[in-house]
Amino acid sequence: MSTGRKYLLRNVAPYGGDRTTVLLADGVIAAIGPDVSDDDATIIDGRGLVLLPGLVDLHTHLREPGREDAETIRTGTRAAALGGFTAVHAMANTTPTQDTAGVVEQVWRLGREAGWADVHPIGAVTVGLEGERLAELGAMAESKAQVRVFSDDGKCVHDPVLMRRALEYVKAFDGVVAQHAQEPRLTEGAQMHEGVVSAELGLAGWPAVAEEAIIARDVLLAEHVGSRLHVCHLSTAGSVEIIRWAKSRGIDVTAEVTPHHLILTDELARGYDPTFKVNPPLRTQRDVEAVRAGLADGTIDIVATDHAPHTREDKDCEWGAAAFGMTGLETALSVVQETMVDTGRLTWADVARVLSETPARIGRVADHGRPIAVGEPANLVLVDPAVRRVINPDEQATKSGNSPFRGRDLSGCVIATFLRGRATVLDGASCDEDVVVRA
């Protein structure tokens, strides 16, 4: 898979620690040490930049097949590379749905052909995300795509019997059910978080309990059948408490938080800008503090983007008619740095854990999220934490402009991304295979 080009990363700081030099050759980390050199390698002067394992996203919407006007596997994975990701898990709510071996193999193959980041398709739990009967979970697991994560994301598997069967079924191939926790009856017509702001604006509310009730039920189901459960985009203080309780009982549950739930609140709905309309909704400052604390103490295992590109037609309309979702691949690392590293709550080694190692482990991706060590696959990202940049979605690689950070400045910047030793990003810009790299 490697092009044969070698890279010598001089003066880089693995996990933000001591500076060293890292040689990438033949798709792997070939040598590490202050005196490493190679006359044939392209030299990158690291200037003390932070070197991390390539990021792994457990929750991306690539929209292909079906909504190529909003994103394609090619544009979405190029955005991923620019955000420092070397692997992404593609959610199943495509058209057709990723609920058969044929569709997941197609998505997997298109990811390989695009070459920007490895694409691991997520399989639907139920046929057509209809919540009525289980999809062909075993066939998807045995396909070339080797699906290990199953989700009806966008919709909740709300039938407890179906959820139980799915949890039991995936044990056969070490899979995991990733639940979008939303009690449907409690959220009918919901437009934003139910609270003071929704009451003032007169918008139908999405109460915290609609998320917490499903998480509580599902951790008990997971315990009952002895399966593992993953909770998508946890967003409330109460959800953090439930996960903390479940882990203290030894229940095999993992949880993710999105970058936007780490930094934005429901106060943003006051401007009626549908860019800030998302599911689950932006919550209160108290919830933001709780998810930050949960991520810092390990109750929340990972950060996942829930990158949800939407066309202008689906977003530039009145709040009630607009689609739920925001983009996130190209800003996720900056938001984590700003909210968790710059505030002293996480180290860079912790960032490697929550954005690479643990998501790879949950998704059973063998060759990503690996240690920075000789012989390991050269899936890496080089980060400059010292710069601040203003976010302009019109200059991003994603096809859609619905970033909640438009015009806002954020910490840090991805300088280079390597996928099996090949640079997908250099000098902060994406590079095609045929790019002429400076000597």
Q: Using the rule CB under 5 A, which residue among 64, 99, 152, 153 binds Zn ion?
A: 153
Number of other CB atoms surrounding residue 204 within 10 Å: 14
Q: Helices in 277-382 by DSSP H: which ranges?
A: 285-296, 312-315, 332-336, 348-352, 358-362
CB of 426 to Zn ion, least distance (A): 33
Q: Which is nearer to Zn ion, 44 or 229 (CB)?
A: 229
Q: Which is nearer to Zn ion, 20 or 60 (CB)?
A: 60
CB of 233 to Zn ion, least distance (A): 6
Q: CB–CB of 379/373 below 8 Å? A: no
CB of 253 to Zn ion, least distance (A): 17
Tell me how far apart the terminal alpha carbons of the chain are, to the nearest angstrom.
22
CB of 153 to Zn ion, least distance (A): 4
Q: Which is nearer to Zn ion, 93 or 284 (CB)?
A: 93
CB of 151 to Zn ion, least distance (A): 8
99 is catalytic: no
Comparing C-alpha atoms, which of 352, 372, 364, 385 is closest to residue 55? Answer: 352
**CA separation for the pair 19, 216 (Å, rounded):** 45
Identify the burial level of 116 via C-beta atoms within 10 angstroms of its C-beta, where 0-12 means exposed, 13-18 middle and 19 or more buried. Answer: buried
Q: Which of 306, 314, 350, 384 is catalytic?
A: 306
CA angle (41, 430, 50) in 5-degree steps: 65
CA dihedral sign of residues 16, 19, 20, 22? positive
CB of 256 to Zn ion, least distance (A): 10
CB of 261 to Zn ion, least distance (A): 12
112 dihedral zone (left: phi>0; alpha: psi -120 to 50; beta): alpha
Which amino acid would we find at residue 64? E
How many residues touch Zn ion (CB under 5 A)?
2
Q: Which is nearer to Zn ion, 54 or 325 (CB)?
A: 325
Q: Which is nearer to Zn ion, 97 or 417 (CB)?
A: 97
Q: Helices in 12-136 by DSSP H: which ranges?
A: 73-82, 101-114
**CA separation for the pair 243, 218 (Å, rounded):** 11
SS3 content of the chain, % helix, strand, coil (to 5): 35, 20, 45
Q: How distant is the alpha carbon of residue 284 from its chain centre?
A: 22
CA distances from 32 to 25, 27, 48, 372 (A): 12, 14, 15, 9
Comparing C-alpha atoms, which of 216, 261, 212, 217 is closest to residue 235? Answer: 261
Q: Which is nearer to Zn ion, 128 or 138 (CB)?
A: 128
**CA separation for the pair 282, 323 (Å, rounded):** 14
Q: Is 368 in the site for Zn ion (CB under 5 A)?
A: no
**CA separation for the pair 35, 419 (Å, rounded):** 24
Number of other CB atoms surrounding residue 407 within 10 Å: 9
408: helix, strand or coil: coil
CB of 185 to Zn ion, least distance (A): 17
Residue nearest Zn ion, CB atom distance: 180
Binding-site string for Zn ion from residue 166 to residue 195, where x marks contact by CB under 5 A and - marks none:
--------------x---------------
* Contacting positions for Zn ion (CB under 5 A): 153, 180
Which active-site residues does the annotation give? 306
